[in-house]
Amino acid sequence: DTGVSQDPRHKITKRGQNVTFRCDPISEHNRLYWYRQTLGQGPEFLTYFQNEAQLEKSRLLSDRFSAERPKGSFSTLEIQRTEQGDSAMYLCASSRGRAFFGQGTRLTVV
């Protein structure tokens, strides 16, 4: 499978814990995007990369969120001190033209 892959697919964590998600984009894609989606809503932009450079981080994103793409290939999204409001689907997409999405990581904070 050469599509976008995300790991883990599901994560349940206790409030206050840190979590990290991984996204492996399609290999020749230089753009990588992170989105958050809650039930009944559209994907909400979080941040995006051009190769290893982070181009923009949403102003709605608190300092507890950080993302990296160290070698311009895979990317990680970390959430520190999770809160119940962080429960959502976290989607990664990569692009070299049209954007392709991974299956997402569903986070539940209890």
Partner 1 sequence: GQSLEQPSEVTAVEGAIVQINCTYQTSGFYGLSWYQQHDGGAPTFLSYNALDGLEETGRFSSFLSRSDSYGYLLLQELQMKDSASYFCAVRDRDDKIIFGKGTRLHILP
Which residues of this chain interact with partner 1, rule CB under 8 A? 31, 33, 35, 40-45, 48, 50, 55-56, 91, 93, 95, 98-104
The per-residue b/e assignment along 73-103, b for 16 or more CB within 10 angstroms, e otherwise, is ebbebebeebeeebbbbbbbbbbeeeebbbe
Q: From the CB of 17, what's the least distance to partner 1, in Å? A: 25
Q: From the CB of 89, what's the least distance to partner 1, in Å? A: 9
Q: From the CB of 98, what's the least distance to partner 1, in Å? A: 5
Nearer to partner 1, 74 or 100 (CB): 100
